[in-house]
Amino acid sequence: MGVVIKNGRTRLRVAGGELLQERGRTTTAVPGAQIRSVEAGDGDLTVLLFDPGEPPMTIHHRNPQVLAAFAGEIRAIRPVHPYEGTRPPVRRETAGLWPGGAARVRDFVASAHPLLKAAAAYVVVGVPVVALIPVEPRGEAVSAWLAGGAGFALFALWAKLVGLRTRWIVRFRGVTVQVAPPDRVGGTADREADYRYRFRALDGRLYEHTSLWASHNGEIRYDPQDPSRVVVPTRILWLFADVAILVGCGAPGSGLIGIWLDWAARVPDALL
């Protein structure tokens, strides 16, 4: 099932036979052979290690079902038979300030929704054109820019309100799980395919969810009381796509239309 525990900036998950604790840019990897025992308490788990220099790891979560599932995953990576030889050490790795920057850009270009690609194109291409096109007075260019963003702002606000209830519920009582790479479904000549995710909930049943977005970290978050409510984490827009990106990037595109039309109307007069 791949349960992920989030406590502020700290994330804990089990992957590759290790218990991983990610805090900021630092990842602590605890091999299964280093885990002595997993003790359940009142709303928390305590993981004891064989290395005497390593302190116990305490894991908190308000949902006892999530803790029980996570404890089962930790116990599953411990050796079945008594371990022989030197136990692999606990590792700590610190990532760079922006690891895999080129890969992130490549992933965005490959998997982002067409609307987001268009928004990025508006910024990259639209801003210099708006700044350089010879329209006077310049105030008209600014007015077109601002007016063009109004429609995008209203659309973004509507989209935000539609998904607000689901995001609110999932944020406060949702369960985060790791998922396999999604399948691409429903693509046609006019639109790109959506992403279909499969995940196993705490009740043991397998569920599917189709989204416009590709998960940037291989995780999704769902409501355990209604697994049809799913939120897929994305990258940058991540925080801004609902309003800021659509307004900030859509305004240049809309503004360009008005500027170009106005400029084209003035060309015949300039030639006379």
pLDDT digits (tens, 9 = 90+) for 63-75: 888 999 999 999 9
Judge contact between 165 and 171, C-beta under 8 A.
no
Q: Give the type of residue at 78.
A: R
89 upstream amide cis, omega within 30 of 0: no
Range of the domain at 8: 3-94
Q: d(Cα 7, Cα 67) in Å, to the nearest integer?
A: 13
CATH number at residue 51: 2.30.29
In this structure, the answer to whether residues 188 and 258 fall within a common structural domain is yes
Specify whether 25 is located in the same domain as 128. no
Last residue of a domain, one of 43, 66, 94: 94
Lowest mean per-residue pLDDT among 121-125, 148-152, 160-164 = 148-152
Segment 24-42 shows an average pLDDT of 89
CA distances from 76 to 2, 13, 112, 256 (A): 12, 13, 36, 58
Distance CA 57, CA 92 (A): 14
Domain boundary among 59, 94, 129: 94
Q: How confident is the model at residue 157 (pLDDT cuts 50, 70, 90)?
A: low
Domain shared by 135 and 263, yes or no: yes
Same domain for 108 and 90: no
Q: Are 116 and 87 in the same domain? A: no
Query: Of 9, 41, 8, whose CA–CA distance to 25 is shortest?
Result: 9
Q: Based on the fold, state whether residues 164 and 254 are members of the same structural domain.
A: yes
Do 80 and 106 belong to one domain? no
State whether 108 and 190 are in the same domain. yes
Domain count, the chain: 2
Q: How far apart are the first and last CA of the chain?
A: 73
Tell me, yes or no, whether 161 and 36 share the same domain: no
Of 94, 119, 135, the domain-final residue: 94
Q: Which pTM does this prediction carry? A: 0.62
Whether the predicted pLDDT of 147 surpasses 80? no
Between 194 and 193, residue with greater pLDDT: 194
User: 158 and 186 share a domain?
Assistant: yes
Whether residue 37 is found in the same domain as residue 144: no
